[in-house]
Amino acid sequence: MNTREQYEVIVVGGGPAGLCAAMYAGRGMLRTVLLERGLPGGELLNTEWIEDYPGFMKIKGRELAQLMTDHAREFGAEIRTENVEYIERRPDGIFEVVTSLGNIFEAPAVILTAGGTPTKLEVPGELEYAGQGVSYCAVCDGAFFKGETIAVVGGGDAAVEEAEYLTRYAGKVYVVHRRAAFRASKLLQERLFANPKIEVIWNKRVLELVGNERGLRALELEDTVTGERSVLNATGCFVFIGFRPNTGLVRGHFAHDASGYAITNDRMMTTIPGLFAAGDLRVQLTRQVTTAVGDATTAAIAVEKYLADLRDPTTHAAAVRGVPAVPEARLGV
Q: Kindly list the catalytic residues.
A: 137, 140-141
How far apart CA 49 and CA 47 sit, in angstroms, is: 6
Residues in the chain, how many? Answer: 333
State whether residue 283 is helix, strand or coil.
coil
Closest C-alpha among 97, 110, 136 to residue 243 = 136
Q: For residue 70, how many other CB atoms are within 10 A of its CB?
A: 12
The answer to whether 323 and 261 have CB atoms below 8 angstroms apart is no
Q: What's the rounded Cα separation, in Å, for the pair 53 and 60?
A: 11
Task: Give the strand pairing for 109-112 and 236-239.
Answer: unpaired
Residues 150/172, Cβ–Cβ less than 8 Å: yes
Spatial distance between the Cα atoms of 282 and 124, rounded to a whole number of angstroms: 32
Percent helix, strand and coil across the chain, each to the nearest 5 = 25, 30, 45
